[in-house]
Amino acid sequence: MGRIPCCEKDNVKRGQWTPEEDNKLSSYIAQHGTRNWRLIPKNAGLQRCGKSCRLRWTNYLRPDLKHGQFSDTEEQTIVKLHSVVGNRWSLIAAQLPGRTDNDVKNHWNTKLKKKLSGMGIDPVTHKPFSHLMAEIATTLAPPQVAHLAEAALGCFKDEMLHLLTKKRIDFQFQQSGIAPGTLQQPLTLQVIKTKRTIRLRRSN
């Protein structure tokens, strides 16, 4: 048993769309509109799943879409709205004419998250990391803090091992010792992991 597939996967093309396919889809929609996505590929002469056609249209082919860089104003809007509604990408995109939920999501995940972290702001809660650490220290009892610290250190160890293997910086450590400030980045990671652990605990 299982879920009924939305289309016959064997007869369906996947992956990147060609300009020819784009043309077929665009001209079909221009003539007939976007009612019943299941029938659109068949009627438009496309070997694609209806879902794939809908996605291609809504995220790329729609004539009212913007394709360029996000402006500062748009970024500010995303950050502001995200602090209120969280990962409700379609809700956020609805406030940005010409942008899709996929655009907003991608931009958040690749740029804005890092930007906020770099400013010392947690991209999930939109609070400064220092506040979060203070919250953890004041709201939890010492055994919980100890447990959290242990979990966080475990994550930190994994992260560090990965880093050491990747960058081969263990050699540099041996050669020069740990320079002041070297641990800043991993400590930031530690804070992120600690927060993640708290979130998981709360959701359970």
Partner DNA sequence: AAACGATTCAACCGCTACTAA
Partner DNA sequence: CTTAGTAGCGGTTGAATCGTT
Q: Which amino acid is at 167?
A: K
Segment contacting DNA (CB under 7 A): 58-66, 133-141, 146-154, 191-199?
Answer: 58-66
Q: Is 195 in the site for DNA (CB under 7 A)?
A: no
Residue 145: CB minimum distance to DNA, A: 28
Closer CB to DNA, 102 or 197, in the complex: 102
Q: What are phi and psi of 123, to 5 degrees?
A: -70, -10
Residue pair 158/120 in contact by the 8 Å Cβ criterion? no
Cα separation of 181 and 204, whole Å? 36
Closer CB to DNA, 109 or 139, in the complex: 109
Per CB under 7 A, contacts with DNA among 85-144 are: 87-91, 101-103, 105-107, 109-111, 114
* C-alpha pair distances (Å), 186 with each of 51, 112, 149, 159: 41, 20, 14, 8
Q: Is 147 in the site for DNA (CB under 7 A)?
A: no
Count residues contacting DNA (CB under 7 A)? 38
Cα separation of 83 and 96, whole Å? 16
Best CA proximity match to 52, nearest among 27, 18, 82: 18
Q: What are phi and psi of 140, to 5 degrees?
A: -100, 150
Q: Is 36 in the site for DNA (CB under 7 A)?
A: yes
Furthest C-alpha separation in the chain: 70
Residue 92: CB minimum distance to DNA, A: 8
Residue 40: CB minimum distance to DNA, A: 8
Q: Is 52 in the site for DNA (CB under 7 A)?
A: yes
Q: Where on the chain is the footprint of DNA (CB under 7 A)?
A: 3-4, 6, 14-17, 35-38, 49-52, 54-56, 58-60, 67, 87-91, 101-103, 105-107, 109-111, 114, 166
